[in-house]
Amino acid sequence: MAEAEFNGKEEELKPYLVVDVKEMCKRADALRAQGKRIGLVPTMGALHLGHLSLAIAAKNECDVVIVSDFVNPTQFAPGEDFDKYPRTLDADINLLSKIGADYIFAPKPSDMYPEGFDAKVHVGGVSQLLEGEFRPTHFDGVATVVLKLFNISRADVAYFGQKDYQQVQVVQKMIDDLNVPIQIEMLPIIRERDGLAMSSRNQYLSNEERKEALVLSEALAKAEEMIRAGERDANAIYAEMRAIIESAPSAKIDYMRVADPKSLQPLERVAGNAVVLLAVRIGATRLIDNKIIDRK
């Protein structure tokens, strides 16, 4: 889909593709001047129903929906899957056209990070646990690109999925600390019929690995069952979760954590609300999942 010159009028064809940062800023400024409420859905493309649920929520609550489609190089460490990460822009545009998203912003890395770019956003505390322990540069890249997307889109509200629970906490901390004028909405995880959390990385799994990957949701369901039945000892919960996960031959646990929902500090005993988070490698594919346990 080719770009057209911006004429200040709404195009008939949606979503309208914008690949230039300055043009996206110009369009967003014009929309804000018209009093439009802008919703942003930050994605790395390879869209699935989880992403679409965010765009639909934005469509229902905002006047204009911008979906970013950008595989952000700064959140990948050397040796991670940046080069093979799926890029399906044409299919993404087709999906977003069905729900009436207004813009898809798909910039080039060289436009987002031009020659001489030398800034980053670092959020301490919540970013240094869990994913931060295994991917120490990851959340600097996430926070930096998300702040750039907020600034470029001029969005009033941004929509994130619960599957990236820690990312949402990092972004919220950045917003709070830096007084960024935007609202965050976190929507529930969208799962396959058998319980697997939808992810762009699921397509890396072989048929057998796809079956093995169900141990993540099964382990989380067990943790919730135990907590609701009165179990308070996190170590007892971990033991049951580990047994389920290790029943999959190719599974390797990066972490399991029963944590405070905001700080993500580990809980030795579950006295109130909690979040249970997992990162597990199934074969060569690293998957994350979580479950919020609300005991109110």
How many residues make up the chain in this entry? 296
Catalytic residue among 48, 51, 122, 138: 51
Query: Which amino acid, one-letter code, is at 176?
Result: D
Asked whether 279 and 254 are in contact (CB, 8 A), the reply is yes
Q: Is 138 a catalytic residue?
A: no
Cα atoms in the 13 Å half-sphere on the side-chain side of 101 = 30
- State the maximum Cα–Cα separation within the chain, in Å, rounded to a whole number: 62
Among 163, 125, 128, 164, which Cα is nearest to 146's?
A: 164
Asked whether 277 and 254 are in contact (CB, 8 A), the reply is no
Output DSSP code: residue 233. Answer: B
Beta-bridge mates of residue 158: 40, 184
Report the catalytic residues: 51
